[in-house]
Every structure is written in structure tokens, then in C-alpha cells.
Structure 1
Amino acid sequence: MMRLRALAAAAATALAAAVLTACAGLPTSGPVNAGVVISDDGASGDVVFIPKGPVDDATPQQVVEGFIAAGSGPGPGANWATAREFLAPEFRDQWKPSGVTVYSPGQRRIEEISESQFQLTVTPIATVDAAGELLTADSSEIPLDFTLAQQDDGQWRITQAPNGIVLDETRFKTVFKMYSLMYFDSTWTYLVPDDRWFPRVNAATSIAQALVNGSPSPWLEGAVSTAFTDDARLALAAVPVDADNVARVSLEEGARGLDQTVLNRMQTQLTRSLATAGIQGVDMVVDAQTLPAETVPWRPTTVDSRPLVRTADAFGFASGSSAGSGTSIEPIAGLSEAMLTVDATDIEVNADRTTAAVRDAAGAVLMVGADDAIATLDRRTGLVAPSIDPFGFVWSVPAASPTAVFAYSETGAQSAIAGAWPGAVQIVAQRVSRDGTRIAAVVRDGSRYALWVAGILRDRDHAPTALGAPKVLATLAGAPTALAWLDAGTLAVLESDDAEAVLYTHEIGAFGEASRGPAGATTVAGGLPSGVRVRAADGELYAQRGANWQHLASGIEVLAVQQGSPR
């Protein structure tokens, strides 16, 4: 995903000049100037647009164009004060700037319906709602209507306009930035990102308001937990950041009476969420008194940097340049011996490396343990590769029956998962996130393939019971073959045929990117810090290195998925 990093003050002038050059072609009622605004919330150095207000005697179309262009300048309070100058006085407080329509640069047109009516037509690639959640669009044109009236002073002003702002993708990524609200899983063990897009100015305030006073994105409801309750809402809306880059979050009086564990979890959520905006510390205060709190430890979802593979005579972590030709493979105690007794085509190993979910050559789903216990869980026809979650449940589903998702406990007990992939007619792959809160799938929902993700709902014993409403991340152009979680918030889909392979990566809550992969690639695995690994049908193993692919090994029969690392 494209992001602008915070820039050193010495480089700010040069970058501002570059932004000015990029803006020259935008039709407005006046030039759109860019400057460097040093915010009070740790976002120092971000380049922001400073559009001009309406010029005297501007035509109605110039007023509309100027208003649209002013969407690039939220202003110090992120209230779009300049944009409001194009509105009639009685309409200024009615118009709400929350929400963004994002379109590809150049893909818009404006038409004059009458002297006082204009219609802007855009083909959105995404929308951002009032809570900052980005949703992909279906590429259909949408009309946006504007009505104007001549004021007593003879100047034209807008009297009716849709709420929200309209930005092309390039400018959107300059005005807004993606930040992660951090929630916990149901066991308070893992931190789970909920990505939102907020204006770069006053980012600390936007993040704190969304985390403390808001709620998780709808698709995550019930799948994640938060320490913030009605007793601990914001007492002051603004979150100032001092010279040491420490944010001061003022909470209501009820926060004083909260348990120390709750306060520590609140501190952790705030600290990790605000860290995505470059904030280095957080003070939670009530009536100017700092609450005693510290961050709690959480379990990371990192994996071993070495690929986990199966060859003809070994299973374990590979090192060297040709693991399949005798280069060292480090076995996993107990589990490797058990795996060599199974004719596996797909393998996913739990974080503790004690259990693996396996699809064998006959198409059945098995659970293989380090104690040599092997249990056949699912014999349905056409099963996709299984996935194992942190609680030991193995997830399985037939390709032709996407709604028939079963989860099997460590004892082999089967549970049907309610609400699984509604509307899908085929499923190519599904993978549970390493924190166990989400599940991703590549499905066919009619004539197209798509990448979906959903929250996992669990009972008091952490057994999965249902999926939340799925979030559609992307429509896929090619024929997908495999799916993997690269980190806590990024997915990879391999689209492959005999001629070429495409690796599509998608950060949840952001935009996807496609890159060329090795010819014949069939499976993908990845994680932090290992990066992306791909296995081709001929047993060759590759690692992504920037825009290139480095050959790692030959003779690889299975590229296994790691669900984390032991504590």
C-alpha cells in the first residue's frame, strides 16, 4: 500500500514543491497551493494541501469546481473550513464532510444541468465512511448533484450538495492516511488491527475518538474485545501531543474506579493505536491527574524466517539454497516424524508446533499431532486446504459448498459454522488469521472470484460458532489458486496459470497491489519476518525480494503454513 511517511523538516520544502507540480492540472476556481503544516499531534512534516477559497465573481461552475478542490484541505481542525466558504451561509452547518468518495485520477466529469445546477459524475474505486472504514466500490458511475443560488452580494454559493468529499486516489493518499485501531482477541492475548483512514492533521484526536468512543468495524463486531466501556469515554474531544511526542488522553471520571487490569489494557490499546501515527507515548488523565497504567504483554504473530517444507524424506525448517537436494532441514521434535507417515498435499502447523492440519493425497482432512496421533476429521468430497486456529480447531470446507464450513476440536468433535460465506457458490481457499479472530476466503460469488474476510464468533469456551457478515476486499481478475496471511492485517492471493502467475497482496482496510510471480506457482505462504514464499508445481521454491523472486530450493513437495511461533 502506498503511504507518505513523516518527513524531516529539511525535506519538506522540496516535497511541497513536488506536490504543487502534481496539482497543476486540476481545474479549480483558483490555484490550489500546498504547504507544510506542522500539526499538534505528532504528524510533523506531513504535506497537506491548502486550497484557496472562492474568488470574487466566480461563475457557478467555478464555485462547484472550487468546492470539490477544497476537499483536499481539511484545515487545522479537520473541519474543511475552506470548503464551507463555497457554501451558502444557511447550508454551511448542514453539510457534513465526513465520508470520502475515492476515484482514479482523471475519471470524473462535471456537467451543467442549468445555470444553478451541476452534476459531478465519478467512478469510485473505494469509499470511506464516517468511521474511517474503507470499502471497495463496484466501479459503477455515481452522480453527485449540486445546486447553487446567487446571494445578496451577487456571489454564487452552493445551497445543496452531497455530504462527504470527493478525491482522486493520489490526493486521497496525501490528505488521508491509514491508521490501525488496536483491539484484543477474546482471550486478551493478541492485538488485532482494525484499519481506518483519517485526515493526517489531528490524527491523534481522530484515532482516540474512534477507539475510546467508537466501536470495531461492523465486520469485526463480536470477534474482538476492547477494554473501553461507558465508564471510560473521552472527557475532552481533543488529544494534544507535547514536545516529547506524548499524547494526553482525557477520560471521564468513571475511569478512576476501573480495575488495574482494565486500565492496563486500555493503556495498551491506546499506545499501540497511536503508535501508528508516530506517537511515542500516552498519558491517560482524569481531571489533569495521570492514571497509573502500563502496557500489558501480548503474543506476537511472527513466524520463523525459514520456510517450513516437506520433501521426499524430511519435514521441517529449510535452510540453504537447495533444500530438496540435501541442504539442511531442521525437524520439529515429534511432529516431523509423524508428518512423514502421511501423504500430505497441504500442511498448516499451529503456533506451538505441536499439531498440524493436513489435507492428504486422497483429499481427506487430518489432524496430525507431535505425539504421533493422527485423526481423520473430514472425508467430504472436494475439500480445500484446511486451517488451524490458536484454540486447536481445524477448519474445513468443500470447494463446491462454501456455506458448509465445519470446525473440528482437538477431540475430533465437529461443529457447523453458522453464517459462513453467504452468497458464494464456490470457495477456492480459506485461512484463519494467526490470532484466531478472522478468517479470509477466496470465493466465487457468481461470475467472478473475490477476496472476502469475516470475523469469527466464539462461545465462552472459545469454540467457533459462526462467522460475522463478510467484508468484500477485492474482485480478482485471474484464476486464484492459493491464499495466505502475510501478517496480522495483510493477505496474499496467488493467481496462476501455465503461462504466468500473479501475486495479489491486500492490506485489510486499504488497496491491493498485484505483482508478477514465478511461472507455475501453485501455493503461497508468508509472515513476519519471513516475507512471501511461493512453491511452483515442479517443486521449486522461491522467495520474494523486492520486485524479484529468488530461487531457494528444489524438490519441495509441500510448502507448509506457519500459524505463529512458540511462546
Structure 2
Amino acid sequence: MMRRGALVAVLVSVVLVLTGCSGIPTSGQVQRSDVTVEPPAAEIEFLPASPVKGDSQEGILRGFIDAASSPQNDFGVARKFLSLTFAVEWDPNASVIIDDGAREFGVTSDTTMTIETDVRANVDSAGGYVELDSPVPATLDFSFVNEEGEWRIASAPPGVLLERITFDQVFGQQVLYFFDPTFTLLVPDVRYFPSRASTPTRIMKALLAGPSAWLGQSGAVVSAFPPGTQLVADTVPITGTSASVDVSAPALDTSAETKRRMLRQAAASLAKLSSIFTVQLSIEGVPQDISAQSDDAAESYPQVDPRPLVISNGRMGYLQSTGSLDEIPRVSDAVASFTPWAAAYSGVHRAATVNTEDGLYLVRSSGSTALVDARENLAPGVFDYYGYIWSVPRELPHDLFASTIGGAKRLVTTPWPDDGRVVSLALSRDGARVAALIESVVGTKLYVSGITRDAQNGPIAVGPPLILPVAGDVATSAVWVDALTVGVLTTQSDITSLITLNVVGGSARSVSPGAIGLNLAAANGIDQFFMRSGDGSLLSYRPGGAWRSVATGVSVQAQVQ
């Protein structure tokens, strides 16, 4: 029997008005305030059909694939399509294969079948998401056994197979948080889990298991939870709007400050769940009387002046709504002595860099200047969170320097391809990650890595990369739009530009500014996102896809750290 679309999509609308806390308090007990919390968004649940009596092997297989889109009751309906033994063994959380729904079902013997499909993306057991450059063919093998006159699946690949539209409805993007090595800032790590009651448990298990490999192997992030810490009861119960996180003995022998960090890390990681407003941390069943800092994860990402920083008519300053420049004292005067084609600024360290034909120059807050890097054909220089100036010749990807404002210079090792050409560098404001836009024989890619630093926070190495595909013909610029997203600017056949917003560890979406762009810059999120066009206009992006011109006569748009 051929069955398609056996699922019924039910829109479950939960209308609740809660009186509680704004965001997610990180104290040990429930907090109260007079803030009205918006009701959670409606979610789509798939109610799949159970096996049909007398169904064929193909009918059972199609029914199983459909049913596996519903994680309710630990994929209870999907398990009905499996043999008694395999229903216990099957691990639906092992992985997710994401395709476009175009599949070929084939019979290979009296008791075996295959599904051939093109994989577009996949998710691993820890919720790590990878989108592929291009579809990859895959063959999935299934075997059958007859139990009491009915066909059931006796073996299947671990995990589930979902088409893109179903994945987007069933799975939700979650953000785990780990600390930078100084325990000052929280660094995000994107994962994907089914949007069900068990989501808090999946989040906490993944958090205790540690960061994604690309982020953790570099030592760019650390966890407050000691190695070997696990959930005591293998679940995170929710009582009202409070989540109870009970962890095992390794967390006992830690300081009060470490316990506060554990609570802060757990609270930030659970903050996106609309049903949770407080977190209670326990160790081996004993509630911990601790409180963490009240600021949430979003406030942990350093913020900058929201106005675009530009060079216009030789002067450097923040563009005001009136169109005039709020010049940076003394820095603007010094910049006027150069003819820069790129610039960067660190508000914390009150210093700027300018790329010129003679190399990369530092401009201090006093107005004094110094040549930082005289090598030829440099990519635009950038600051990191700790005030280091990063510079690299475009054709020499392994000759990356990090220089202090005082003039000390060090070589930073990189994993980038030997034949790579560095188009653009972007440093996240938490100091933990670098995004490099690189052209090579395999095409243009975005290499996102953790940063290895020494005890004085000096960069030593760029860690193993998470490699993201880049759309478009010619890439020109990359910038961190917010803590999760890197924007990449490319041109399409010299006709128009395309901007791809890449969620690091997640999916990507594209927007078209309707003009040829030269470079990107961002302040504190997508609503403070700017592009300089070829005619010197500065365009500002508005969520929803609209762009508007906010200035003309802009010769350089600066990157702000």
C-alpha cells in the first residue's frame, strides 16, 4: 500500500497569561514581579497513524518514516512499526538526516528494502547541526520480520529521516552557553532538539557533555561543571515555571563561586524555553542556596555604540541621525592624515587601525600613530576583545600576526588551507571565536574557529574550523552581526549583492540589498546592520528585508569591537 502524508498537523495554541519574571532569573528560588509574560508561541504537533493491519513492507516503512516525525512519548507511535526486539534497541536521538522529501524506495530481497535520498543537512546526537555544501546521496537499509502475521521493521539506521519543512516544525534551535576561560563572558553554542517536554533534559545533558568539537578543542570555552558531572535522575523536572537541575557528586567539591557559575550556565542555556522562568540547582538531591548574576546571556555579549562608524571627507566618527559626524576626538584628526581603504575601532581600548597602501597603522586615543604591519596586500585589520590587532597578508594564510597596542607582535597558527586567500577576518566580541572568509581551489568558505589563548589572553592559535558554505560568485566581507550570526557579503555576476546570515552551528538565510556592496559592519544585532555600497552610500538593514540609505559620501565603513 502506498501511503504519503499520513500525518495530521495539529496547531496547538496555548494561551496563557503568566505573572512572573522578565527573562530567566538565576536565583535558587522562584522570583516574583509585576511583569506580564507573553504567551508562548503556538507549535505544530504531528499526530501520525499507527500501523495498518495487513500492510505491506513498503507501507510499514513509509508509515515508520512518517511516524518518526513525532517525538511524543519517546517516539511511541514510530516504535509500533518495529519488531518487539528492535523497538527497544532503536535510538531515534542518535541523528537526524534532513532531505527535501524526494526519496526512492527499493526492494532488495524478500525481507529487505532501501531508501535512497539526497542529504541536505544532518544533526548529531548532541544536537550539532551541519548544513552540506551540496546534496550528498545516501542509501538507508531496512530489514523486516513477520510477527504474528504482520510485517515489522527488524533493523534500521539509528536516528530519523525528516524532510526540511518537517524538521523546521519539529525541531527547535537552542543555545547552550559555556564560559570564556576567564569566566567573564558566556559564549553560545547552537544545538537543535525536538520541541517537546523533554527538551530541558536534552539541553542539560548536552551542556554537561561539553561544547561542540570545533569550539571546545581549541580551549576557547570552558564549563563550570566539573568533568564527569551528570544528571542524577536523567531528567530535568519542571514544576510550574521552575526547572530543577540535579547534578551528580563531582559538583559537590566546588567553591560557592563555581556553583554560582554552574547555575548561571544552566539558567542561560534554558532561558530560551518559554515554560521556564527560574532554575533550582541541586547536587545529589540537595538544593543549593546560591544565586547567580541576574544578567542574562544576551547581556553577557559586549555591546558597542549602535551608530555606524565611518570615515567621510577624511574624518572618522559616528554617523548621527542628522547626517553629521560625531567625531572621535584626536583619533579623527590623526586618521585625516592617511588615505585609508579600511578601518577598525576598539571602543574599550579607544584605538583605531587603518589600512593604507603602506600597510596597517595604529591610531591611539592620544592621536599618536604607529605602523603595525608593513607587509603587502593585507586583509583589513581587526581588533579582538582583548585589544590585539589581527593582520594577515591575503595570500599568506599561515602568516597571521596579533599585535598589542604597545607594539609587541606574535605569530598565530592557523588551520586554513595552504592555497587559501584571506578575504576578510571577523572577531566575535566575546574574544572566543574568529570567522575567516577564505577563497581556495575548493571554493569560497567561511571558516569559524575557537581561539586558543595563553594565560595573559594573548592569541596562540586558531582552532579546528567549522566550515560553512558561501553562496554567490565573489566574496568581499564578513562580520559578526550578533553573538550567533556571521553575515557574509558576496556579489552575483557583478549585478547585485547577496548577504548570507549564517547562524554558526545552525542554518543560513539570505537577503538582497538591491545594490552592489563593498563591505559590511554591525553594531548590536540585525537591526543595527550596515552595508557600504559602491557609490559611497551607507545602507541600513531593517528586519523583514527592507534596506534604506542613511548616508552618502562614505569612503570607509569601520569594523567596531
Aligned partner of 2:226 in structure 1 is 229
In structure 2, C-alpha distance between the alignment counterparts of 1:457 and 1:26, rounded to whole Å: 53
In structure 2, C-alpha distance between the alignment counterparts of 1:484 and 1:33, rounded to whole Å: 39
AA aligned opposite 2:379: V
AA aligned opposite 1:281: T
Match of 1:537 among 502, 527, 534: 534
**Alpha-carbon deviations, 1:402-424, whole Å to 9, x = none?**
22222112232222222331455
AA aligned opposite 2:329: A
How many angstroms does 1:276 deviate by? 1.5
Match of 1:143 among 139, 142, 148: 139
Say whether residues 1:263 and 2:234 are aligned partners: no
For structure 2, list consecutive stretches of 5 or more residues without a partner in the other structure: 15-38
How many angstroms does 1:45 deviate by? 4.6
For structure 1, list consecutive stretches of 5 or more residues without a partner in the other structure: 1-24
**Alpha-carbon deviations, 1:397-442, whole Å to 9, x = none?**
2221222222112232222222331455222111111111000011
In structure 1, C-alpha distance between the alignment counterparts of 2:105 and 2:439, rounded to whole Å: 36
In structure 1, C-alpha distance between the alignment counterparts of 2:424 and 2:153, rounded to whole Å: 50
Task: List aligned pairs for 1:186-205, cutoff 5 A.
Answer: 186-201=181-196, 202-205=198-201
Secondary structure of the residue that 1:204 maps to in structure 2? helix
AA aligned opposite 1:551: S
On the 8 A contact 1:268/1:295 being kept in 2, the answer is yes
How many angstroms does 1:468 deviate by? 1.2
Aligned partner of 1:317 in structure 2 is 318
Say whether residues 1:218 and 2:219 are aligned partners: no
Q: 1:131 to 1:351 in 2, by over 3 A?
A: farther
In structure 1, C-alpha distance between the alignment counterparts of 2:159 and 2:365, rounded to whole Å: 55
Aligned partner of 1:280 in structure 2 is 277
Aligned partner of 1:440 in structure 2 is 435
Aligned partner of 1:252 in structure 2 is 248
Say whether residues 1:27 and 2:22 are aligned partners: no
Aligned partner of 2:554 in structure 1 is 556
Q: 1:61 to 1:232 in 2, by over 3 A?
A: closer
Query: Which of 381-390 and 445-454 deviates more?
Result: 445-454
Say whether residues 1:510 and 2:511 are aligned partners: no
Secondary structure of the residue that 2:62 maps to in structure 1? helix
**Alpha-carbon deviations, 1:153-175, whole Å to 9, x = none?**
11111112111101011110111
Aligned residues between the structures: 524
Aligned partner of 2:412 in structure 1 is 417
Match of 1:113 among 102, 108, 113: 108
Match of 2:355 among 359, 362, 368: 359
AA aligned opposite 1:27: R
In structure 2, C-alpha distance between the alignment counterparts of 1:287 and 1:101, rounded to whole Å: 33
In structure 2, C-alpha distance between the alignment counterparts of 1:185 and 1:64, rounded to whole Å: 46
Say whether residues 1:306 and 2:307 are aligned partners: yes
Aligned partner of 2:81 in structure 1 is 86
Aligned partner of 1:466 in structure 2 is 461
On the 8 A contact 1:136/1:472 being kept in 2, the answer is no
Aligned partner of 1:500 in structure 2 is 496
AA aligned opposite 1:542: L
In structure 1, C-alpha distance between the alignment counterparts of 2:317 and 2:372, rounded to whole Å: 23
Task: List aligned pairs for 1:319-358, cutoff 5 A.
Answer: 319-320=320-321, 323=323, 328-352=324-348, 354-358=350-354
Alignment root-mean-square deviation, CA: 2.2
Secondary structure of the residue that 2:63 maps to in structure 1? helix
In structure 2, C-alpha distance between the alignment counterparts of 1:359 and 1:408, rounded to whole Å: 15
Match of 1:167 among 162, 171, 175: 162
Aligned partner of 1:18 in structure 2 is none
Aligned partner of 1:11 in structure 2 is none
**Alpha-carbon deviations, 1:362-417, whole Å to 9, x = none?**
4x122221122322122222211111111111111222122222211223222222
Secondary structure of the residue that 2:136 maps to in structure 1? coil
**Alpha-carbon deviations, 1:92-141, whole Å to 9, x = none?**
23322124444343332222223322211121221101110001224121
How many angstroms does 1:149 deviate by? 2.1
Secondary structure of the residue that 1:72 maps to in structure 2? coil
Q: 1:382 to 1:171 in 2, by over 3 A?
A: same
Query: Which of 375-384 and 165-174 deviates more?
Result: 375-384
Aligned partner of 2:291 in structure 1 is 294
Aligned partner of 2:22 in structure 1 is none
In structure 2, C-alpha distance between the alignment counterparts of 1:299 and 1:280, rounded to whole Å: 18
On the 8 A contact 1:491/1:508 being kept in 2, the answer is yes
How many angstroms does 1:348 deviate by? 1.4
How many angstroms does 1:231 deviate by? 7.1
Q: 1:177 to 1:433 in 2, by over 3 A?
A: same
AA aligned opposite 2:44: V
What TM-score do you get using the length of structure 2 for normalisation? 0.88
Match of 1:61 among 49, 58, 69: 58
Say whether residues 1:46 and 2:23 are aligned partners: no
Query: Which of 97-106 and 453-462 deviates more?
Result: 97-106
Q: 1:147 to 1:445 in 2, by over 3 A?
A: farther
Secondary structure of the residue that 1:250 maps to in structure 2? strand
How many angstroms does 1:44 deviate by? 8.1
AA aligned opposite 1:333: P
In structure 2, C-alpha distance between the alignment counterparts of 1:150 and 1:43, rounded to whole Å: 44
Match of 1:73 among 67, 70, 73: 70
AA aligned opposite 1:276: K
In structure 2, C-alpha distance between the alignment counterparts of 1:319 and 1:552, rounded to whole Å: 9
Q: 1:287 to 1:191 in 2, by over 3 A?
A: closer
How many angstroms does 1:287 deviate by? 5.0
Say whether residues 1:242 and 2:242 are aligned partners: no
On the 8 A contact 1:103/1:168 being kept in 2, the answer is yes
AA aligned opposite 1:526: A
Identical pairs, percent: 29
How many angstroms does 1:216 deviate by? 0.4
Aligned partner of 1:368 in structure 2 is 363
In structure 2, C-alpha distance between the alignment counterparts of 1:294 and 1:447, rounded to whole Å: 50
In structure 2, C-alpha distance between the alignment counterparts of 1:129 and 1:424, rounded to whole Å: 31
In structure 2, C-alpha distance between the alignment counterparts of 1:443 and 1:346, rounded to whole Å: 18
AA aligned opposite 2:312: T
How many angstroms does 1:238 deviate by? 0.9
In structure 1, C-alpha distance between the alignment counterparts of 2:177 and 2:472, rounded to whole Å: 32
How many angstroms does 1:299 deviate by? 4.2
Query: Which of 331-340 and 125-134 deviates more?
Result: 331-340
AA aligned opposite 2:291: E
In structure 2, C-alpha distance between the alignment counterparts of 1:45 and 1:242, rounded to whole Å: 21
How many angstroms does 1:528 deviate by? 1.6
Runs ≥4 residues deviating over 6 A: none
Secondary structure of the residue that 2:238 maps to in structure 1? coil
In structure 2, C-alpha distance between the alignment counterparts of 1:26 and 1:246, rounded to whole Å: 42
Q: 1:404 to 1:272 in 2, by over 3 A?
A: same
On the 8 A contact 2:314/2:335 being kept in 1, the answer is no
In structure 2, C-alpha distance between the alignment counterparts of 1:284 and 1:463, rounded to whole Å: 34
In structure 2, C-alpha distance between the alignment counterparts of 1:463 and 1:164, rounded to whole Å: 42
